[in-house]
Amino acid sequence: MTPNVNAALVFDRVSKSFGTKQVLRDVSFELPPGQALCILGRSGTGKSVTLKLIISLLKPDTGKIWIEQDEITGMQPNELSRVRRKMGFLFQDAALFDSLTLYENLALPLHRLTSKSPQEIDSAVNTVLLQVGLAADKTKMPSELSGGMRKRAGLARALVLEPKLLLADEPSSGLDRITASEIDDLLLQQKAERQTTIIVVTHDVHGARRVGDRFAVFDKGNLVAYGTAAEVERSESEVARKLIAEQ
Amino acid sequence: MFKVKKPFEFVGNVSLFGFRVVTGLFRSPFEGEQIVRQIAEVGSRSLPLVIASGFAVGAVMTLHTRSTLVMLGAAAMIPTVQSLAFFVEIGPLVAGLLVAGRVGSGIGAVLANMRATEQIDGIESLSVDSFKFLVIPRVVACVLALPILTLFVDFSALLGGFLSEYLTSRASFHLYIIRAFSHLDWSNFVAPTFKTTVFGFIIGTVSSYFGYTTNEGAQGVGRAATNSVVVSSLLIILADVILIKCIFFIFPESAL
């Protein structure tokens, strides 16, 4: 398959197994730049694995993945590092380094991956913290933050390198409706202001419908529906119709 | 407890892990800041334990050896026996085992927890080499800190031995120290102290291996900590036997 040069992300017949359990089976889709894709599906259907394949924390058994024009499945670590710099990842539990303060968590990638001066790093960190509403908490350790604050802190770390592609693994899980909505607002703001391509794995259909331009529904490792909300609602897959219609 | 189901595979994996540490040392970035942070961590965690243990073992050993040496009419040799025993063998071994218990378990647990909470994935996702950032500084810290901690064991043991001797026979500190070092050569002191760098490498590598490679979520944290201590301690004792033979080969006079 020749990649669509205009796509931000291309999956071409990607499969992934862990031992005898196949979690993704021949998954193919394309995502145009600047759009938000919400990945839905029941637990254990390969949604989080898809995100980890995109950022190359996992390698597919077969198939290819393109990030813009870069085919990442066969890349060497140095090349991979270059492609990863285009991406930000919000982990399900934020995955902040618990031995560093919030400020240090955000400054670390800037310090290591950019040639910014300490003043520029300070300014970039403060700007992002202000954006997510945590400017007053920058000296706190991750253990001192609430669940919602940790999610926002994780989002801040994902945004601090100004990624072109933002990946979020269940950004609203474990949060109340208002806090979840605030996280969705931040994602929407990022998409609108920076034209960031966003991929969100979520169980929150209400939030997904707010944020998503496109929806991918997984069932037992298969991509059973892909398209706009209206297209998924008309899908042949009963699972997809139920998931998109929930709430 | 740890069961080595596939011992050869395990040995191979740990060896490759150690080889990756050695080769990674010579590639930039050199993680100086992390290394300093980890040395401080290893030192601050171990120093009070090492000093207290050395002091206690020194005092106890003097109490035990005194009666035998007095019976043989060699009471004056108590400080010499004490210093030779500690500088040559007991100090390095006690320091190695204490650090394996105190620091090794910590390294295993911390890295396993970071794996379970996706912090290691988080580091990788930021284009930072997690192996260089997390593992190599810990191994280097153990290698550099252990000889220093060994000296603390040695000297605190001498102090403990002196206190025990002073309470029994009112020995003078000056005389005790003179006798303690009267039969101690550089070969008795330097090689055994520096062999602990190998112990440090074993502790750092084995503990990091169990923590970094675990894939069992929260359950793996406790298992990694336990395995780190058990396997590190065992390998330290085995390595000690080999290193003593090496030291005797390089410094034949110390074998006499």
Least confident of A25-34, A159-168, B23-32, B111-120: B23-32
| Residues B37-45: contacts with CB under 8 Å, at least 24 apart | B37/B137, B38/B137, B38/B138, B38/B140, B38/B141, B39/B140, B39/B141, B39/B144, B39/B145, B41/B141, B42/B99, B42/B103, B42/B141, B42/B142, B42/B145, B43/B145, B43/B148, B43/B149, B45/B102, B45/B103, B45/B106
Contacts of B114 in chain A (CB under 8 A): 97-98
**pLDDT at res. A36:** 95
Contacts of B127 in chain A (CB under 8 A): 80-82, 84-85, 109, 112-113
**pLDDT at res. B233:** 95
In the structure, what pLDDT confidence band is assigned to residue B187 with cuts at 50, 70 and 90? confident
Contacts of A87 in chain B (CB under 8 A): 125
Min CA distance, B224 vs chain A (Å)?
19
> Does residue A1 or residue A86 have the better pLDDT?
A86
pLDDT at B114 over 90: yes
- ipTM summary value: 0.85
Verify whether the Cβ–Cβ distance A57 to B124 is below 8 Å.
Answer: yes
Q: What is the pLDDT of residues A175-230, one digit of tens each?
A: 788 888 888 998 999 899 989 999 999 988 988 999 999 999 999 889 999 999 99
- Average pLDDT of chain A to the nearest whole number: 90
**pLDDT at res. A3:** 62
Q: Nearest residue on chain B to A109, judged by CA atoms?
A: B126
Helices (DSSP H) in B26-128: which residue ranges? 32-71, 78-85, 91-99, 105-116, 119-125
* Closest to A175 in 3D by CA, of A196, A193, A155: A155
Q: Does B129 touch chain A (CB under 8 A)?
A: yes
Q: Nearest residue on chain A to B122, judged by CA atoms?
A: A95
Verify whether the Cβ–Cβ distance B122 to A84 is below 8 Å.
Answer: no
Model-level pTM?
Answer: 0.86
**pLDDT at res. A45:** 87
Q: Please state the rounded mean pLDDT for residues A86-94.
A: 91
Contacts of B117 in chain A (CB under 8 A): 93, 95, 98
Verify whether the Cβ–Cβ distance A85 to B125 is below 8 Å.
Answer: no
